[in-house]
Amino acid sequence: MIQKLVNILLVEDDEVDVMNVKRAFSKNNIKNDLFVAGNGVEALEMLRGGIVPLPRIIILDINMPKMNGIEFLKEMREDENLKNISVFVMTTSNEDSDKINAYNLNVAGYILKPLSFEKFIASVATLKDFWSLCEM
Amino acid sequence: MINSNILVVDNCKVDVENAKKAFSILGLKDTLYFAENDLEAWDKLQGNQKISPIPKILLIDINQEGIKGIDLLLKIRKHEDLKSILIFVITGTDNEKNKSDALNLNIAGYLHKPIQSDKSFDFFSILYNYWNIIEYSSEKK
């Protein structure tokens, strides 16, 4: 099951959001190793450089400097060694074009960051339940 | 909120009944469609029995005899109007080759069916809750 083994790469440029994810993980007792990349370029470097061990999943923001989430996804899906990684988008972008592009690149889910932290904790709890059913 | 039709591809009667029962309690009865194999599923996605709007969620048992699951997944991923479908593989048997092929086709999850029927509601509830926290793109014109 995912939650015991998997390493999670969080691709997120906003430090407050990184902190919120860490807090929501700890509130939900999620103990997977968490790696953080500040943008798509950094994420690709970490994945290709073996910094994030297998198996791994990615939590991806959309709006980021240097290489945004959609650009990152495109490059990742073209890379033979990375293309099968499960990606969960977690973003404040409610743009339909971002959703369409993300699903066309086969993300496993597109989650809008709720405005309140309590709701965010609840979303992460739901995500944890879903991960507990998934095999890799 | 789930704003999508859901297609279930499975030919095991017990499993289909369990899914029907759970989804009916969860309030998804009206958006649920069933196919017994890959050909029937394709007919419901692109053929004579085409479901409208196209389902954004597909559940499939790729290891069931009589269902060419990987073939169907490949066709879906190659089709411009279908490639974005969220595919959840739900299976009761192990087949490492099918599993790795499915994961390479970027399924949203590879899940084991609950063995006991009384666990199946919990299983589908978790899926349902997950479908409720994710966003969906608006309908294609």
Cα angle for residues A13, B133, A79 (degrees, 5° grid): 50
Q: How many domains is chain A built from? A: 1
B25: nearest Cα among B105, B97, B131, B124:
B124
Banded pLDDT at A136 (limits 50, 70, 90): confident
A135 lies in some domain: no
Q: Is the CB of A16 inside 8 Å of chain B's CB atoms? A: no
A103 lies in some domain: yes
Domain B6-133 fold:
Rossmann fold (3.40.50)
Banded pLDDT at B130 (limits 50, 70, 90): very high
From the list A111, A126, A130, which residue is nearest B135 (CB)? Answer: A111
- Please state, for a pLDDT cut of 70, what percent of chain A lies above it: 97
Domain that holds residue A68: 10-127
From the list B109, B132, B137, which residue is nearest A100 (CB)? Answer: B137
How much is the pLDDT for A4?
56
- Chain B hits for A114, CB-CB cut-off 8 Å, are none
A123 lies in some domain: yes
Asked if the model's pLDDT at residue B56 lies above 70, the reply is yes
A2 lies in some domain: no
Domain boundaries, chain B: 6-133
Residues A73-99: what's their mean pLDDT? Answer: 97
| pTM exceeds 0.90 for this model | yes
How much is the pLDDT for B30?
85
A19 lies in some domain: yes
Residue A104 CA from chain centroid, whole number: 16
CA dist A85 and A127 (Å) reads 16
- Chain B hits for A100, CB-CB cut-off 8 Å, are 84, 137
How much is the pLDDT for B140?
55
Asked if the model's pLDDT at residue B88 lies above 90, the reply is yes
Closest alpha carbon within chain A to B83? A104
What ipTM score was computed for the predicted complex, to two decimals? Answer: 0.94
Closest alpha carbon within chain B to A76? B106
Q: CATH code at A112?
A: 3.40.50.2300
Using CA atoms, how far residue A65 sits from A71, A104, B89, in Å, is 11, 22, 35
How much is the pLDDT for B141?
41
A93 lies in some domain: yes
